[in-house]
Amino acid sequence: NLLQGAQFVLAAHRVNQLPADQGAEVAFAGRSNAGKSSALNTLTGHKGLARTSKTPGRTQQMVAFALPPLAQGDGEAPLVARLIDLPGYGYAKVPEELRAHWKQEIDAYLHRRESLRGVVLIADIRHPLKEFDRMMLDFCFATGLPCHLLLTKADKLSRNQAAQALAAMRKSFPDGLHATAQVFSSPANTGVDEARARVVELLRT
Ligand code: GDP
């Protein structure tokens, strides 16, 4: 697991407080309670890395995690790599002001961050995409960033239902969006290797 050994670096309220814009990073986004922290913890094999919470909508920050440098081909120096946990504010109790702040920061981050290679969007497989998710897809469309959708909590559906939800989701992507999607479950360990491989692939692009 190349994502093993991730370490907390810092938490930021603004894009300009993030680590130096060098190397490669992949951002994780999702509405509160979608299962983003659980996914980060599962992918990195580090149970306490991102704080999971059963109380959605707490004050949030952008959190940077450093990954072990990724080996590259033919004598190149190892690639400095990071994961960025974006705040998931798509929850009714988040004050309008905070929502507007994060919308602006995430917009700026996705448009200006040179080291950003792609976005992993986390959404509950049981529900249609919500306003926050659509906004993230729109941002990816606008910036040309690849997006990988993790449909989480797949253990809550039968295998068949999950496959149908995945197929429907793929069909709904607009033409021209660089999006891939998969089913995922932290407790059932579904799709974990696939998601790790995709994150590493994004980091190396
Ligand atoms: P976040 O707010 O997006 O970071 O969500 P969390 O990772 O804190 O998860 C929110 C809730 O969903 C918690 O109660 C988790 O235990 C639960 N959860 C997260 N991922 C899964 C999953 O794949 N399957 C199931 N059944 N529950 C999950």
ipTM: 0.99
Q: Given this model, what pLDDT does residue 49 score?
A: 87
**Residue owning the nearest CA to atom 14 of ligand 1:** 54
pLDDT the model gives residue 53: 53
- Domain 7-204 - what CATH class? alpha beta
Q: What is the pLDDT of residue 59?
A: 52
Mean pLDDT of 22-49: 94
Ligand 1 close to Cβ of residue 53 (< 6 A): yes
- Cβ–ligand 1 contact at 156 (below 6 Å): yes
- Secondary structure of residue 183 in the 3-state scheme: strand
The two structure tokens encoding residue 144:
């040309």
Position 55 scores a pLDDT of 46
Is the CB of residue 88 below 6 angstroms from any atom belonging to ligand 1?
A: yes
Q: How far is the CA of 101 from the centre of ligand 1 (A)?
A: 25
Query: What pLDDT does residue 58 have?
Result: 46
Q: 47-74 pLDDT, tens per residue?
A: 888 876 554 444 578 999 999 999 988 8
Measure the CA angle with vertex 139, ends 99 and 81; round to 5°: 95
Predicted confidence at residue 32, as pLDDT, reads 85
Sorted by where each begins, the domain ranges of the chain are 7-204
Per-residue pLDDT tens over the stretch 70-128:
998 888 899 999 999 998 776 667 788 888 898 999 999 999 999 999 999 999 999 99
pLDDT band with cut points at 50, 70 and 90 for residue 176: confident
Identify the residue whose C-alpha is closest to ligand 1 atom 25: 153
Mean pLDDT (whole number) for 29-52: 90
Number of Cβ atoms within 10 Å of the Cβ of 34 = 27
What does the pLDDT look like over 117-173, one tens digit per residue? 999 999 999 999 999 999 999 999 999 999 999 999 999 999 999 999 999 999 999
pTM metric for this prediction? 0.95
Return the pLDDT at 56: 47
Residue 46 in tokens = 């580090």
Phi, psi of 174 (to 5 degrees): -70, 150
Cα separation, 13 vs 122, whole angstroms:
21
